[in-house]
Amino acid sequence: MWHKSIQCPFQTHTAYICTMRQFLKFTLASCLGITLAFGLLIFLMIGIATSATMAPQKTVKSNSVLEIALDYSPPELTNNVEASAMGLNSGDIVGFQDILKLIRLAKSDDKISGIFLDPSRMGYGPVTGHDLLAALEDFKESGKFVLAYANFYGQGGYYLASVADTIMLNPIGGIDFRGFASFVPFFKDLMDKTGIKMHIYYAGQFKGATESFRRADMSPQNKMQTREYLEDAYGEFLIDISNVRGIDKSRLRSIADGLHSSDAKDALALGLIDMIAHEDEATDWMRRRSGLESGKKVVKISIEDYYTTKNLKQGTGNDRIAVVYAEGSIMHCDENYGTICDGQFVETLAKLRKSKKVKAVVLRVNSPGGSILAAENILREIVLLQEAGKSVVVSMGDYAASGGYYIACTADRIFASSNTLTGSIGVFTMIPNPNALIREKLGINFDTVRTTKHSASFSPFFDWSSEENAMMKKRTDDFYEFFLEKVSEGRDMTVDEVNDVAQGRIWTGKRALEHGLVDEIGDLQDAIKSAASLADLDEYKVMEYPKLMDPWTKLITEFTQQSAQTTVDRYFNTKLRQQIPHFDELRALITTNGPVARLPVIIQH
């Protein structure tokens, strides 16, 4: 019968009936979809309203203890992370720079009696950790206490805890204190077995990002540079702990070599901690230090709640210094929180260039690099800023390497921390070719008809000719020369001088200073002061960019503007991010098209 057929027959009457039925079906489906979407939107809006009305307004009570117990790696800028479109957490993701500001405010806040630090779940890079340690040390100058307590300390957690007046450890706990190491997986043998060939082109003998796909071990050059920056970072790590704990650096290295701190009793005997205790004993300690009577409740306020009670705007006056946070991988995209999308950054920098109030720009770079195309688009707008008469100062975070250095190289002044990873001036291109896998393992063959000699070139279904390989190698070398020229112009060096310190080699901040790649060792506040000096400003307000939405607003915006598939993709990306270390970096490497300028490592305490 016709109504059981997938297609309507061509009779006029039945076609009319079929057409009407299809119309009604799609109309009802559309109405149902709109109704469900509208209902979910109403639900979300009710959730926002309920959260806003039912959640008590946070206040700082007298004798409060500021609790810093982050279970996430803080972004540089508050809320600058890719949020889950399925998440219903309306809390702000407090950024690293705001955490530093809050610690400085707590130092002079009469209602804050001390800081309770639980660093057991915190993750951070070498510069982030050093600056947090310095902020906590400065806080102690007020006479207020800092107490650290954890069931177990990882190396990064212990590093932060070391500044505390008293370090407590659970009786069953221990300290993972065994030095730094780099682990690099290599996939060449696996690809050879599966029939996947990787076409690899790189410029710079130290550009180690491609080695996992073309070697079975680290090259001597890569091993040398890795050892160098690991030793530099570990040396800074030991010096900082030595200074605040009063334990000789050589003694700390001996403890690490002997694995002597895995037991709480050993950690106490070695002077790494001050007390073996349970959490209730830590609470009693804070009660006594706060001058509270026995049994009186110790009031804690989390760093997230403290953030909601404070105005963190800096400065006065009509003039502005814009701080633009460039953190994450550099990609050719429109906008994505936690990523340096050239579309968003070009638009932001162009607005700052045209603003009469903005007198200078500080670019805070915390990026391992990424797409050369995107980096060039951003650098072009930075140059236009300078041509418009506005000073540009760069402040480097944990990383400002490869593409991250590319967008920094023309700045009027460049500040780095001593253990920033920077340089890595080099380029690589990687293109997989599964031809052997498809042909030999799966039994699929391809044939082609060409109109010109190269119309089917660079195909994953055929072996590449020497001409194709030569062209890709030349293109990669050309990009490297282009990179060298940009650095040469920005740093007032000859191309040969840049090439001597380039070659894809990674430098720590203090070594980059020696080689002329940065101008000073300093933090973000030093860079802001330098920008004010260059712009001849005595009074100014500091404005932060890019402008970001809070998590609830972002959730509603994504829901109303994006497709269901995009929403699902974001949800699963969030789940993968929780399960796979450095998921964002891996995704950026896989999805970036064209030549790449990227740091081959990520260091985390």
Structural domains for the chain: 64-81+91-181+222-308 (3.90.226.10), 315-447+457-557+587-598 (3.90.226.10)
Q: For 75-103, write each residue's pLDDT tens digit.
A: 999 999 875 533 455 578 999 999 999 99
Q: What is the pLDDT of residue 9?
A: 36
Instruction: Please check the confidence at residue 551 and state whether its pLDDT lies above 90.
Output: no
pLDDT number for residue 225: 95
Q: Which residue has the higher pLDDT, 58 or 369?
A: 369
Q: Provide the sign of the torsion angle of the four alpha carbons 573, 98, 396, 230, taken in this order.
A: negative
In this prediction, residue 71 carries a pLDDT of: 80
pLDDT tops 70 at residue 107? yes
Handedness of CA 274, 279, 280, 284 (dihedral sign): positive
Question: Distance between CA atoms of 493 and 495, rounded to whole angstroms?
Answer: 6
Q: Is 114 helix (H, G, I), strand (E, B) or coil?
A: strand
Question: How confident is the model over 320-335, as pLDDT tens digits?
Answer: 999 999 999 999 998 8
Nearest by Cα to 58 from 312, 313, 310: 310
The pair of three-digit structure tokens given for residue 52, joined into one six-digit string = 């806003």
Catalytic residue list contains 64: no
Burial code (b: 16+ CB inside 10 Å, e: under 16) for 263-281 equals: bbebbbebebbbebbeeee
Dump pLDDT digits (tens) for 243-264: 999 999 999 999 999 998 989 9
The rounded mean pLDDT for the chain is 86
pLDDT over threshold 80, residue 50 = no
Q: Token pair 């929780």 is at which residue?
A: 578
CB-based contact 403:597 (threshold 8 Å): yes
Read off the pLDDT of each residue in 60-85 and give the average, rounded to a whole number. 86
Q: Which residues contact 564 (CB under 8 A, 6 or more apart)?
A: none
The residue annotated as part of the active site, out of 261, 391, 402, 417, is: 402
Choose, from 207, 359, 390, 486, the residue flagged as catalytic: 207
Average pLDDT over residues 2-9: 37
Instruction: Report the C-alpha gap between 44 and 87 in whole angstroms.
Output: 11
Q: Is residue 383 within 8 Å of residue 362, measured between CB atoms?
A: no
Report which of 325, 306, 409, 402 is spatially closest to residue 363, judged by C-alpha positions. Answer: 325
> Of the given ranges (8-17, 467-476, 496-505), which has the lowest mean pLDDT?
8-17
Contact (Cβ atoms closer than 8 angstroms) between residue 361 and residue 367: no
pLDDT bin (cut points 50, 70, 90) of residue 581 is low
pLDDT of residue 89: 53
For residue 573, name the pLDDT band (cuts at 50, 70, 90). Answer: low
Is 142 among the residues known to form the active site? no
Q: What is the pLDDT of residues 215-249, one digit of tens each?
A: 999 999 999 999 999 999 999 999 999 999 999 99
**Nearest of 553, 531, 526 to residue 541 by alpha carbon:** 531
pLDDT at 315: 87
Q: Report the pLDDT value the prediction gives residue 118, as an integer from 0 to 100.
A: 94
pTM score, whole prediction: 0.83
Write the DSSP string, 485-507. HHHHHHHT--HHHHHHH-TT-EE
